[in-house]
Homo-oligomer: A and B are copies of this chain.
Amino acid sequence: MILFDNDYTEGAHEQILERLIQTNREQAPGYGLDSYTKNAKKYIKKALDREDVDIHFISSGTQTNLIVIAASLRPYQGVITADSGHILNLEAGAIEAVGHKLLPLPSADGKIYAEDVQQLAESYERNPANFHKVQPGMVYLSNPTETGTLYSKEELKALKTVCEDYDMKLFIDGARLGYGLVAETNEVTLQDLTNLSDVFYIGGTKIGALFGEAVVINNKEIQRGFKTVMKQKGALLAKGRALGIQFEVLFEEGLYFEISKYAVAQAMRIKEALFDQGIQLKYEAYTNQLFPILNEDQIKQLQEKYSLLLFEEEDETNSVVRICTSWATASGNVDALIQDINKL
């Protein structure tokens, strides 16, 4: 069985493993004070073209989300998110467990729009009895979204403006950021993300790392005490080097972008094959995720050799399926899949 259901089915990029071996017996101080972590921060700051941000490395996406939100909000504040948001549906109540309510906005394509955010924030402001309500204190979005769509630069700017108007922080979950940054239709640079958000992160787990996300904090208020919040939530590894080394390798010479491009190119090959068969995609796809609408027979046929994610029902006879590539997707497996798509 060949797995195409997600982008974390293999280990780490081999350059990372090699570096782990090379450095293995070097003695280093703990808790992120090692030189690998310092280098990793330096390389990322260079990529962002910003020296005044804080960077921290955290083991998982859910952990990053809960720590960022806990460090950003006061108790009476909540988080606006798309109703398809990862923090709403797939984190076992992690955000509520740190005390904050999620304020979902309906979304057809995984994105939220400035207009809807503005309306929610404004309705809160206008409500004289709003002390019965949680105040929107942060806007959370992911880019690419859960369904692989991308924000335009204008959309992000508009969201940033609303956030400023209503004193909300903007937090961008970049678990698959690399795959978005290299997309053909992408307009947004790492510098844009830094400047337009209060805090965002650069996903490693799904893009070359064994585990780890790099949080970039622009907002001074969130910077304060952040490392202590990390410790409090159990996110400071004694051997911080394990995270430092990985991001050092990924950002030293652009490996992160190179492997992101590879993964997206593989996805685009599959997309073309699907289009050739007249198969439609549920969501616009320029990153590493494809959401074809397939009928029962097609699904059954593919499932004989491939593991795919059944994402949602489309209608009585068709379903939306997720096909994921990653930095580790074997080109031969893509060849095989394309051949089998051609037979559908």
Contacts and interface: CB of A to CB of B under 8 A. Distances in A.
Given A11-B241, A96-B100, A234 B131 contact: no
Given A10-B27, A238-B60, A231 B17 contact: no
Contacts of A95: 96
Interface stretch (A1-9, A45-53, A115-123): A1-9
Contacts of A234: 58-60, 62-67, 94, 233-235
A81 to B, nearest CB: 13
Contact of A97 (B8, B23, B26, B99): B99
B211 A242 contact: yes
A20 to B, nearest CB: 6
B92 A232 contact: yes
Contacts of A233: 63, 66, 94, 97, 233-234
A300 interface: no
Interface stretch (A71-79, A147-155, A190-198): A71-79
A70 to B, nearest CB: 5
A127 to B, nearest CB: 11
A227 to B, nearest CB: 4
Interface string A66-108: 1100110011111000000000011111111111110000000
Given A92-B132, A93-B76, A328 B62 contact: no
A64 B236 CA distance: 12
A12 B25 CA distance: 8
A257 interface: no
A228 interface: yes
Interface stretch (A28-36, A158-166, A180-188, A314-322): A28-36
How many chain copies does the complex carry? 4
Interface string A114-152: 000000000000000111111100000000000000000
A205 interface: yes
- Categorize the interface residue count of chain A: 35 or more
A41 interface: no
Contacts of A10: 24-28
23 contacts: A3-B27, A10-B27, A10-B28, A11-B20, A31-B129, A31-B131, A59-B59, A59-B234, A60-B236, A61-B238, A66-B233, A71-B76, A75-B229, A78-B93, A92-B228, A93-B99, A93-B134, A96-B134, A131-B236, A133-B228, A135-B228, A211-B238, A234-B234
Given A11-B25, A60-B234, 13 more contacts: A9-B29, A14-B24, A20-B20, A31-B129, A58-B234, A59-B237, A60-B236, A92-B131, A92-B134, A96-B99, A135-B228, A205-B238, A233-B233
Shortest Cβ-Cβ A-B pairs, 8 listed: A63-B234, A76-B228, A11-B24, A93-B101, A92-B231, A76-B225, A93-B134, A92-B232
Interface of A: 2-3, 6, 8-12, 14, 17, 20-21, 23-31, 58-67, 70-71, 74-78, 89-101, 129-135, 205-206, 210-211, 224-225, 227-239, 241-242, 328, 330
